[in-house]
Chains A and B, each alone.
Chain A
Amino acid sequence: MTIVAVEHLSFRYNSVEVLSDISFGVNVGDYVGLVGPNGSGKTTAIKVVLGLVKPAKGIVSLFGTNVNDFREWHRIGYLPQKLTHFNPHFPATVREIVSSGLFSTKKFPKRIQRSDEVSIDDAMRLTDVTDIGHKLIGELSGGQQQRVLVARAIVNRPDLLILDEPTTALDPEARGMFFQTLMGLNQNRNVTIILITHDIASIGKYASKLLYLDKQIIFYGSFQDFCVSEKMTNYFGEFTQHLICHRHD
């Protein structure tokens, strides 16, 4: 079953074309690595998929519903690339930030119940932020803040998890653990994952599919196919393609 369907999507910032007629689908249980150079439209594509910005052309469906009419936000977990207006003095603890990920599951008036504590504890344990649960978000390092935001993204046990460069502030050990956690969510809980990253080699080790974007879709398929794709050999050059594909061996 296709849960994200993008058809003939184009997007422009003023007169600059960022996405040009892209179409792709993501099925239940997929783990898609969305990769591409800076300015290739990865984050924009995700924002269009989530209905945060309107495309110039094209249709986006989430779980079979046009994104403009989509209301089942509790089925989606999202980690933005960066907090747009992050206030380092924001007076909220880690636990409060993580629990805010449950608001999508609540009707008016949104209240966190005692029964929600299990989900919050679970998400905090998975992302290793339990020990800092009482700390203010502004007191944390960049890597810790990123783990808190990942916990917020998964606390509602989403069917679809969209992560925009979640590993940029993580050290190599934390990054490895993070990829393992995502793998567990994907395989054990059947969470569909779309992950934006620049680290093609690392994501190739875990993701079931790679979507290489450079204003248009250059490649969409498995990492194995990516490594033998003639199109990608022409795009990267044989040497670079070899480096990408064998770095994690």
Chain B
Amino acid sequence: MDLFSFFQYEFVWRAVIAGSFIALVCSILGVLLVLRRLSLIGDGLAHVTFGSVAIGLLFKQHPVYIAIPIVMASSLGILKLTEKARLYGDAAIGIVSSLGVAGGIIIASVAGGFNIDIFSFLFGNILAIGQAEVLTSIALSIVVLLIIFFFYHEHFATAFDEEFAKISGIDTRKINAILVLLTGITVVLAMKIVGIMLT
């Protein structure tokens, strides 16, 4: 059995396609986040995803549908903390991620366990993803690529010198919000593929 014979299985194709598109999105967003010194935001939001999954399982809802709004709100919360509470990004990420994990553990303990192993979300399973997740990862990649293409110079200016970007008439709050929201959505959608630990 050679390497290429793996591709006779549909689940392998799904894994390769979805994995490639998620990798593409993560690499594009990753560069911007590193330049903005928000490199740990993905990790922080992944911790929040853990808490959101627990909430989803508690209310017997699909975890992704619960996680997306919570993680998006948390990403905006990190931004607000850096702007209003004058915290550096790392401190704000630390606060939000601690809340996410602690919340998840408390909910899992209070619920007395779930039928699904919540800890399976920690590591994901790229071979177990379905058609819908493949299509979602492709759609997300296209959305991210288009947004970065059209707002590339705004992101560039904001990453280099936010104060000057404001004087250039760039709405830096909108640009920051776009970046963290895209990151939040990517983290949630990557959860099942690469797992919360690696996101």
Q: Which residues of A contact B (CB under 8 A)?
A: 50-52, 71, 73-74, 76, 78, 80, 83-87, 90-92, 96-97, 100-101, 103-104, 106, 108-112, 152
B114 sits at the interface (CB 8 A): no
Which residues of the other chain, B, contact A110 by a CB distance below 8 angstroms?
Answer: 153-154
User: A52 near B154 (CB under 8 angstroms)?
Assistant: no
A100 vs B154: C-alpha distance when bound (angstroms):
9
Choice from A51, A83, A103 contacting B153 with Cβ under 8 Å: A103
User: B160 near A92 (CB under 8 angstroms)?
Assistant: yes
Beyond the given A52-B163, A91-B35, A103-B153, please list 4 additional residue pairs across the A-B interface where CB-CB is below 8 A.
A73-B169, A84-B162, A100-B168, A110-B153
Which residues of the other chain, B, contact A76 by a CB distance below 8 angstroms?
Answer: 167
Which residues of the other chain, B, contact A84 by a CB distance below 8 angstroms?
Answer: 161-163
Which residues of the other chain, A, contact B160 by a CB distance below 8 angstroms?
Answer: 83, 87, 90, 92, 97, 100
Which residues of the other chain, B, contact A103 by a CB distance below 8 angstroms?
Answer: 153-154, 157, 165, 168-170
A-B contacts, 17 of them at CB < 8 A, read A73-B167, A80-B161, A84-B161, A85-B37, A87-B35, A87-B160, A92-B156, A97-B160, A100-B157, A100-B160, A100-B168, A104-B168, A104-B169, A109-B149, A109-B150, A109-B153, A110-B153
Q: Which residue of A lies closest to B31 (CB)?
A: A91
A71 vs B171: C-alpha distance when bound (angstroms):
11
User: A90 near B159 (CB under 8 angstroms)?
Assistant: yes
Q: Which residue of B lies closest to A72 (CB)?
A: B169
A51 vs B163: C-alpha distance when bound (angstroms):
10
B164 sits at the interface (CB 8 A): yes
Known: A92-B156, A108-B150. A52 touches B161 (CB 8 A): no
B166 sits at the interface (CB 8 A): yes
Q: Which residue of B lies closest to A84 (CB)?
A: B163
A85 vs B159: C-alpha distance when bound (angstroms):
9
A160 nearest CB across to chain B (Å) = 11
Q: Which residue of B lies closest to A96 (CB)?
A: B156
Choice from A78, A90, A109 contacting B164 with Cβ under 8 Å: A78
Which chain B residues numbered 160 to 191 have a C-beta less than 8 Å away from chain A? 160-170
Nearest first, the 4 closest Cβ-Cβ pairs linking A and B are A73-B169, A104-B168, A110-B153, A103-B168
User: B167 near A104 (CB under 8 angstroms)?
Assistant: yes
Which residues of the other chain, B, contact A104 by a CB distance below 8 angstroms?
Answer: 167-169
Which residues of the other chain, A, contact B37 by a CB distance below 8 angstroms?
Answer: 85, 87
Which residues of the other chain, A, contact B165 by a CB distance below 8 angstroms?
Answer: 103
Which residue among A52, A96, A108, A110 has the maximum number of chain B CB atoms within 10 Å of its CB? A110
Which residues of the other chain, B, contact A85 by a CB distance below 8 angstroms?
Answer: 37, 162
Which residues of the other chain, B, contact A83 by a CB distance below 8 angstroms?
Answer: 160-161
User: A111 near B35 (CB under 8 angstroms)?
Assistant: no
Which residues of the other chain, A, contact B169 by a CB distance below 8 angstroms?
Answer: 71, 73-74, 103-104
Which residues of the other chain, A, contact B35 by a CB distance below 8 angstroms?
Answer: 87, 90-91
A87 nearest CB across to chain B (Å) = 6
Q: Which residue of A lies closest to B153 (CB)?
A: A110
A97 vs B153: C-alpha distance when bound (angstroms):
11
Which residues of the other chain, B, contact A111 by a CB distance below 8 angstroms?
Answer: 153
User: B168 near A73 (CB under 8 angstroms)?
Assistant: yes
Mask: chain B, 75-88; 1 = CB below 8 Å from A; 0 = not: 00000000000000
User: A152 near B164 (CB under 8 angstroms)?
Assistant: yes
